[in-house]
């Protein structure tokens, strides 16, 4: 039996044994174990040249319409781009306890109820444990066939025999290829297992959902090549202790990567939040340091509450903590506030958080974060007729306000909840200093200058 070899993930150097440092590019810990290549069939004639392929214009290529499989979970279908594509490979990751197994169990139950054949492969729990977890999801989830198996060859053979339309593998880090010496979850094992499942999915037209773990930094565990093998990468975000969960696509060959799904964890499992803006607006505190941001998640406007806390620093250097927004972006906003708006927080601890565990990555959150910081520093709540203030816009390094995408949709979403006026770039609002002066008024300016 041919032995496995080691390939450098950075330069492609191959070695019969493992090295801590690649002899080719001198990168550390870049060699991963791979299975030996399959033996090539003997050729009937040596030196025979291959037959040239005939190129075809893209305009002449037929593109058949492939019907998608609806999971019955509208928020999941939205992020997927309309449902599961037959023959696709989907990787869904998230922290332990975030709801990965719950949402896949819900989806398989709905698909079985709709008449589709399904299969649930559990590598972490026994069939009895899976049943206990599925009981709270309703009777449809109990109709899903399940196997408890970690051998990828046995899983592939089961898929070949049963031919399910949708298969969930929970989790890919527990699967192993017997001919590889690495432990399950190692780089070589994860890569080989994913490649084999991909061949089965493409060959049988089955949609395979791989559940993956995440590292301490929140990134999907396993090599980056794992994300290149799959067609779609979904990321569950949020905290186990928080009620809300968000699902976004980091990669999607069959749809947009800008859509966002919002869920709420309850006793009966994950429940879709169709109108997430109403939940966040109702829970807005209307206290100093609170501002409602109208963000865009793909084609969907979303109102979320941005909270800020400014307190005297007890240690040096002062702390800068951000939850839900980029910490580097927070540092930029603090620098612009000190240089162009006369609000220096160099001697204060600064904490910024997006309520509900939502992660906001767009530059349109700059203005809302700056207003929340100014409100927290001055102790003045930003409230209009008992309603929280809504803002969006990007802040430039010169203190100017820059336009962001879809301002009409953002404003319309705020108007739906009677949140007016909306502070946004344009008109009289051209600089950050001007906005702070008009929103906070004269008395707070004294506090800011102090």
Residue 56 placed within a domain: no
Q: Are residues 287 and 239 in the same domain?
A: no
Q: Which domain holds residue 437?
A: 278-449
Q: Are residues 106 and 17 in the same domain?
A: no
Q: Are residues 201 and 340 in the same domain?
A: no
Whole-number pLDDT of residue 171: 87
Whole-number pLDDT of residue 446: 30
Q: Are residues 156 and 122 in the same domain?
A: yes
Whole-number pLDDT of residue 10: 62
Q: Are residues 14 and 91 in the same domain?
A: no
Residue 58 placed within a domain: no
Q: Are residues 299 and 221 in the same domain?
A: no
Instruction: Flag the least confident range among 12-16, 42-46, 221-225, 305-309.
Output: 42-46
CATH number of domain containing 144: 3.40.50.300
What CA–CA distances, in Å, run from 389 to 67, 213, 239, 415? Answer: 44, 39, 27, 12
Whole-number pLDDT of residue 229: 86
Do β-strands 290-297 and 300-312 pair in parallel, antiparallel, or remain unpaired? antiparallel
First to last CA, the chain: 78
Residue 293 placed within a domain: yes
Overall number of domains in the chain: 3
Residue 67 placed within a domain: no
Whole-number pLDDT of residue 16: 87
Q: What is the pTM of this model?
A: 0.75
Q: Are residues 250 and 386 in the same domain?
A: no
> Among 224, 243, 274, which residue terminates a domain?
274
Whole-number pLDDT of residue 165: 96
Q: Are residues 379 and 364 in the same domain?
A: yes
| Nearest-angstrom CA–CA distance, 310 and 331 | 14
Residue 184 placed within a domain: yes
Q: Are residues 84 and 218 in the same domain?
A: yes
Do residues 364 and 392 lie in contact, with contact meaning Cβ atoms separated by under 8 Å?
Answer: yes
Residue 196: Cβ-neighbour burial (10 angstroms; 0-12, 13-18, 19+): middle
Give the total residue count for the chain. Answer: 450
pLDDT in tens, 154-200: 999 999 999 999 999 998 989 999 887 777 877 778 888 999 999 99
Q: Are residues 27 and 101 in the same domain?
A: no
User: What DSSP character marks residue 221?
Assistant: S
Query: Per-residue pLDDT for 442 more than 80?
Result: no
Query: Per-residue pLDDT for 444 more than 50?
Result: no
CATH number of domain containing 393: 3.30.230.10
Of 306, 411, 410, the closest CA to residue 356 belongs to 306
| Nearest-angstrom CA–CA distance, 349 and 365 | 20
Q: Are residues 261 and 395 in the same domain?
A: no
Helices and strands (H and E) in the chain: how many: 12, 22
């Amino acid at each position: 039996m041919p032995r496995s070899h080691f390939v450098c993930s950075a330069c492609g150097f191959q070695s019969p044994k493992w090295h801590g440092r690649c002899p080719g590019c001198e990168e550390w810990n870049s060699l991963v174990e791979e299975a030996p290549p399959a033996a090539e069939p003997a050729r009937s004639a040596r030196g025979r040249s291959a037959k040239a392929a005939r190129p075809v214009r893209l305009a002449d290529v037929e593109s058949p319409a492939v019907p998608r499989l609806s999971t019955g979970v509208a928020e999941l279908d939205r992020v997927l781009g309309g449902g599961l594509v037959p023959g696709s490979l989907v990787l869904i990751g998230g922290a332990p306890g975030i709801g990965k197994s719950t949402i896949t169990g819900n989806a398989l139950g709905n698909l079985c109820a709709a008449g589709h054949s399904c299969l649930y492969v559990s590598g972490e729990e026994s069939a009895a444990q899976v049943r206990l977890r599925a009981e709270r999801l309703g009777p449809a989830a109990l109709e899903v066939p399940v196997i408890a198996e970690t051998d990828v060859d046995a899983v592939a053979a089961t898929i070949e025999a049963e031919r399910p339309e949708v298969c969930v593998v929970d989790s890919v880090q527990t699967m192993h290829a017997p001919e590889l010496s690495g432990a399950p979850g190692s780089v070589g094992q994860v890569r080989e297992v994913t490649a084999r499942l991909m061949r089965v999915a493409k060959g049988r037209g089955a949609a395979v959902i791989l559940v993956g773990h995440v590292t301490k930094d929140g990134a999907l565990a396993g090599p980056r090549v794992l994300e290149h093998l799959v067609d779609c990468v979904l990321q569950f975000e949020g905290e186990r202790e928080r009620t809300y969960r968000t699902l976004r696509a980091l990669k999607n060959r069959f749809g947009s990567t800008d859509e966002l799904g919002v869920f709420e964890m309850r006793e009966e499992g994950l429940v879709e939040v169709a109108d997430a803006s109403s939940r966040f607006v109702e829970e807005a505190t209307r206290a100093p340091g609170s501002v409602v941001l109208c963000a865009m998640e793909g084609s969907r406007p979303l109102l979320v509450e941005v909270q800020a806390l400014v307190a005297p620093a007890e240690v040096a250097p002062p702390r800068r903590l951000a939850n839900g927004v980029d910490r580097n972006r927070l540092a930029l906003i603090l620098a612009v506030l000190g240089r162009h708006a006369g609000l220096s927080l160099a001697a204060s601890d600064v904490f910024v958080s997006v309520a509900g565990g939502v992660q906001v990555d767009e530059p349109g959150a700059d203005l809302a974060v700056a207003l929340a910081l100014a409100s927290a520093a001055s102790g003045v709540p930003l409230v209009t007729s008992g309603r929280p203030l809504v803002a969006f816009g990007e802040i430039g390094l010169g203190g100017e306000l820059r336009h962001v995408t879809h301002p009409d949709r953002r404003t319309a979403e705020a108007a739906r909840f009677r949140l007016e006026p909306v502070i946004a770039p344009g008109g009289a609002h051209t600089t950050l200093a001007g906005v702070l002066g008009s929103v906070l008024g004269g008395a707070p300016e004294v506090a800011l200058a102090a």
